A and B are shown apart, each in its own frame.
Chain A
Amino acid sequence: MMVVNKETIAQLAKDNRRLDNRSLTTFRQPIKIETDLSWTAEGSARVQIGETVVMAGVKLSIEKPYNDTPDEGGITVNAELTAMSSSEYEPGPPGMKSIELARVTDRGIREAKAIDMKQLCIEPGEKAWFITVDIITINDAGNLFDASGLAVLAALKSARFPVVDEATGAIDYKHKTDVPLPLTKEPLPITVYKINGALLVDPLYEEEEAYEARLTVASDADGTLSALQKGGAVPLTIAEISAMIDLAVEKAAFLREELNKALD
């Protein structure tokens, strides 16, 4: 990993320049999205943006619904920043960074009501499908937020329910039906970074070390926002937030198009 000081990155950003000569609002290439990579998962995806690679896998289980939503299933997103993916990470329980990544990705899907939870119900108060999505980082070269959001959506789109034995009610994980998840929307998170007054997307790892503020914006195809998360120690003006949202919605549409191309 190259060592670049924050001042260099800040100075470049001020001049609308970046370490790898991209414009501030251009994503790295290649952008690769592959699905159905893991036969043991009900849905899976691998996303590559530049040198950043993440995988996501969907597992389904049948559980008792929560008392306050007896006719709904549920979804949980977890993230593991593996020690395999960067010398910065160590094996062990999840740290703050992986918890934030998981929760922000989770909210983007959950709050958009992207999954019709009622359709996951099998028997009100007794049985419903619960979805667990695990994000596993393979190589962290920056922008895990966007790569993970894309991988989770791709994995959800590729997921198929497993066969359930009519007599026993047990899940036969070795056989899948052709029924997809009740996915009604396609929210994608984009994180916009503020470095020395400039707004940029798809940061390199080095740029992530140098940012002042960031805003993750999950938005649906029609531009509806479903989750926000501000990070960093520097505050933002309303005008900046407005510009960041516009940029995020535009880039989400770009990645959604990449996703639909890849899944065609």
Chain B
Amino acid sequence: MTYTKRLDGRKIEELRPMEAKAGVIPNANGSASFKIGKTWALAAVYGPREIYPKFLANPKKGIIRCHYSMMPFSGSGERIRPGKSRRSQEISMVMEKALEPVIDLYDFPNSAVDIFVELPQTDAGTRCAAISAAAIALADAGIPMTDMVSAVAVGQVDGTVVADLSYGEESYPAVVSDIPVAMLHNSKEISLLQMDGEISKEDLISSLELAKVATEKVYELQVKALKERFVKDNNHKNNHPEDN
């Protein structure tokens, strides 16, 4: 085991500095901004609303749709062409699966809840930031949820299990594994699990145990952002003329 001191000096279980805010996009039914290190996700929720195209509508239950998108200037290299990529489509799909377990789709038959995530800048852990932002936005939109979803990557860098890998750690010149995890707060069940790299089963299990602690930090921040939003709303002076 040679990786004893993390590249940016963090403790093993320490996440990068985080910031979260709910209610940042007035047009949306719910929205959030979530930053972790230099990764920044904005999420907007529209719905429940009518589904287009209509054939997707299900008279028994609603659907949720995620759209993950990196802004063209948000990659650390060349400009990214706008529009769907294989990567963005896959991430959108796993985001839906990560969030769906806490949403009662039978509450809004024939309808869709659309979740749009845009990233103005990225470093590492974009899908986890996207999920954490989306979960705040869903709660802000008043979508009935049975639990909160909080996501963070864990993994193993040259034999050491760490939380919230940085870009430098993801590309560390040794055996590395990057494991994005989304966890349901109450049940401690896992709704997103992917892995890149190599890891032993023992290290994987201890990584997932570490994810419990790490996602708890994200959860605390998500709740704080929602509480702050609620306080602000109470004092909000509405300027629309129909209220005057």
Contacts and interface: CB of A to CB of B under 8 A. Distances in A.
Q: Please determine whether chains A and B interact with each other in the same assembly.
A: yes
Interface of A: 1-2, 19-21, 37-42, 44, 51, 53, 55, 57-59, 61, 78, 80, 82-87, 90-91, 93, 132, 134, 136, 138-141, 171, 173-174
A44 B27 contact: no
A256 B27 CA distance: 27
B122 A40 contact: yes
B27 A85 contact: yes
A1 B27 contact: yes
A157 to B, nearest CB: 15
Interface string B109-131: 00000101110111000000000
Given A37-B120, A44-B73, A136-B72, 11 more contacts: A38-B71, A40-B73, A40-B74, A83-B67, A84-B42, A90-B52, A136-B118, A138-B25, A139-B26, A139-B28, A141-B27
A53 B71 CA distance: 15
Interface residues of B, number: 37
13 contacts: A1-B27, A2-B240, A20-B240, A40-B122, A51-B26, A55-B120, A59-B78, A82-B116, A85-B25, A90-B52, A132-B79, A136-B71, A173-B76
A59 B73 contact: yes
B26 A91 contact: no
B44 interface: yes
B17 interface: no
Given A40-B76, A132-B72, A134-B82, A84 B122 contact: no
B97 to A, nearest CB: 19
B144 interface: no
Interface centre among B49, B69, B73, B77 (most CB of A within 10 A): B73
A44 B49 CA distance: 33
A173 B240 contact: no
B72 A139 contact: no
A8 to B, nearest CB: 11
A105 to B, nearest CB: 15
A78 B240 contact: no
Given A44-B120, A57-B120, A93-B83, A87 B46 contact: yes
Contacts of B26: 51, 139, 141
B27 A41 contact: no
A92 to B, nearest CB: 8
